[in-house]
Chains A and B, each alone.
Chain A
Amino acid sequence: MKILGISGHYHDSAAALVIDGVPVAAVQEERLSRRKNDASFPLAAIEWCLDQAGLAPDDLDAVIFYEKPTLKFDRVLTSLLQGYPRSWRSYPKAMKNMLGEKLWVRGLIASQLGISTRKVRCIEHHQSHAAAAFLTAPTQEAAILTADGVGEWATLTVGRGVKNADGSTAIELMRELRFPHSLGLFYSAVTSYLGFAVNEGEYKVMGLASYGEPTRLDEMRRLLKPTGDGAFKLELDYFDFLGKVESGYSQRFVELFGPPRRSWQPIDLASAEGRRWADIAASAQRLLEEVMLGIASDLQRETGLSDLCLGGGVALNGVANARILREAGFDRLFVPSAPGDAGCALGAALYADRILFGRPDRAVPDHPFWGPVADAATLLRIAGEDGLPVKVADEAGLIEDVADALADDRIVGWVDGALEFGPRALGNRSILAAPHDAMMRDRLNRDIKYREEFRPFAPVVAAEHADRYFDLLPGGGRLSRFMSGVFPVRPEWAARLAAVTHVDGTARVQILERGMAPRLHALLEAYGRRSGIPILLNTSFNLAGEPIVNTVTEAYSTFRRCGIDLLVAGNVRVSKPHLTPVAILEKVA
Chain B
Amino acid sequence: MGAQGLYEKPPERPDMKSVAGKRFLADPFGMLLRPLHELIWSDRERRARKLLEFAEVEASGGRDLVRAAELTSDPLLRERYLRHARDEARHADMFRARGRALSGAANGDGSGGFAHWVAPGEQGMEGLDLAREKDADLLAFLHLSESAAARDFARYAKAVGGDPATRSLFQHILRDEDHHMRYTHAELLRVAPRRARRVLWWARLRRFWKAYLRFATALAGLIAGVVLTLQYFLLLPPFAWLSKRAARRERPGWIHIETKGR
Interface residues of A (CB under 8 A from B): 34, 71, 78, 81-82, 84-85, 88, 91-93, 95-96, 157, 159, 173-178, 181, 227-231, 233, 262-264, 382, 385-386, 446-448, 450, 545-546, 551, 553-554, 556-557, 560-563, 576-577, 579, 584, 587-588
Residues of B within 8 A of A446 (CB): 2-3
Which positions 71-106 of chain B face chain A at CB distance < 8 Å?
71, 75, 78-79, 82, 85-86, 96, 99-100, 103-104
Residues of B within 8 A of A576 (CB): 5, 7
Nearest CB in chain B: distance from A146 CB, A: 12
Interface residues of B (CB under 8 A from A): 1-10, 52, 59, 63, 66-67, 69-71, 75, 78-79, 82, 85-86, 96, 99-100, 103-104, 109-111, 221, 224-225, 228-229, 232-233, 236-237, 239-240, 242-244, 247, 252-257, 260, 262
Tell me the interface secondary structure of chain B in the complex.
helix
Asked whether B252 lies within 8 Å of A181 as measured between CB atoms, the reply is yes
Nearest CB in chain B: distance from A544 CB, A: 9
Residues of B within 8 A of A95 (CB): 228
- Beyond the given pairs A447-B2, A561-B5, A577-B7, 11 more chain A to chain B contacts, judged by CB atoms under 8 angstroms and listed by A's residue number, are A78-B243, A92-B232, A93-B225, A175-B256, A229-B253, A264-B103, A385-B78, A551-B70, A561-B66, A576-B5, A579-B7
**A84-B236, A262-B103, A588-B10 known; A231 vs B78 contact (CB < 8 Å):** no
Question: Can you report 5 residue pairs joining A to B where beta carbons are below 8 Å apart?
Answer: A174-B257, A178-B255, A262-B110, A450-B1, A587-B9
Nearest CB in chain B: distance from A355 CB, A: 15
Which has the most chain B C-beta neighbours within 10 Å: A263, A556, A560? A560
Asked whether A91 lies within 8 Å of B228 as measured between CB atoms, the reply is yes
Q: How far is the CA of A174 from the CA of B254 in the complex (A)?
A: 10
Asked whether A88 lies within 8 Å of B63 as measured between CB atoms, the reply is no
Residues of A within 8 A of B4 (CB): 561
Residues of B within 8 A of A263 (CB): 110-111
**A88-B232, A264-B103, A554-B70 known; A176 vs B225 contact (CB < 8 Å):** no
Asked whether A563 lies within 8 Å of B2 as measured between CB atoms, the reply is yes
Residue in contact with A584 in the complex, picked from B6, B228, B232, CB distance below 8 Å: B6
Residues of B within 8 A of A229 (CB): 253-254
Residues of B within 8 A of A181 (CB): 252
**A230-B254, A560-B5 known; A92 vs B70 contact (CB < 8 Å):** no
**A92-B225, A96-B224, A264-B103 known; A227 vs B257 contact (CB < 8 Å):** no
Q: How far is the CA of A263 from the CA of B112 in the complex (A)?
A: 11
Asked whether B240 lies within 8 Å of A84 as measured between CB atoms, the reply is yes
Which has the most chain A C-beta neighbours within 10 Å: B70, B99, B262? B70
Residues of B within 8 A of A264 (CB): 52, 96, 99-100, 103-104, 110
Asked whether A91 lies within 8 Å of B257 as measured between CB atoms, the reply is no
Nearest CB in chain A: distance from B52 CB, A: 7
Residues of A within 8 A of B6 (CB): 579, 584, 587-588
Residues of A within 8 A of B99 (CB): 264
Q: How far is the CA of A557 from the CA of B82 in the complex (A)?
A: 8
B10 nearest in chain A by CB position: A588
**A263-B110, A587-B7 known; A84 vs B244 contact (CB < 8 Å):** yes
Asked whether A233 lies within 8 Å of B252 as measured between CB atoms, the reply is yes
Asked whether A92 lies within 8 Å of B63 as measured between CB atoms, the reply is no
Nearest CB in chain B: distance from A431 CB, A: 14
Q: How far is the CA of A557 from the CA of B62 in the complex (A)?
A: 12
Residue in contact with A92 in the complex, picked from B7, B10, B78, B224, CB distance below 8 Å: B224
Residues of A within 8 A of B103 (CB): 262, 264
A384 nearest in chain B by CB position: B75
Asked whether A34 lies within 8 Å of B67 as measured between CB atoms, the reply is yes
Q: How far is the CA of A93 from the CA of B63 in the complex (A)?
A: 28
Asked whether B256 lies within 8 Å of A92 as measured between CB atoms, the reply is no
Residues of A within 8 A of B86 (CB): 561
Residues of A within 8 A of B253 (CB): 177, 227-229, 231, 233
Residues of A within 8 A of B242 (CB): 81
Nearest CB in chain A: distance from B135 CB, A: 15
Which has the most chain A C-beta neighbours within 10 Å: B110, B239, B254? B254
Nearest CB in chain B: distance from A193 CB, A: 13
Q: How far is the CA of A112 from the CA of B96 in the complex (A)?
A: 40
Q: How far is the CA of A556 from the CA of B67 in the complex (A)?
A: 11
Q: How far is the CA of A401 from the CA of B111 in the complex (A)?
A: 47
Residue in contact with B228 in the complex, picked from A92, A382, A560, CB distance below 8 Å: A92
Asked whether B255 lies within 8 Å of A557 as measured between CB atoms, the reply is no
Residue in contact with B237 in the complex, picked from A84, A231, A382, A551, CB distance below 8 Å: A84
Residues of A within 8 A of B257 (CB): 157, 159, 173-176
Asked whether B255 lies within 8 Å of A386 as measured between CB atoms, the reply is no
Nearest CB in chain A: distance from B179 CB, A: 17
Nearest CB in chain B: distance from A467 CB, A: 37
Asked whether A82 lies within 8 Å of B255 as measured between CB atoms, the reply is no
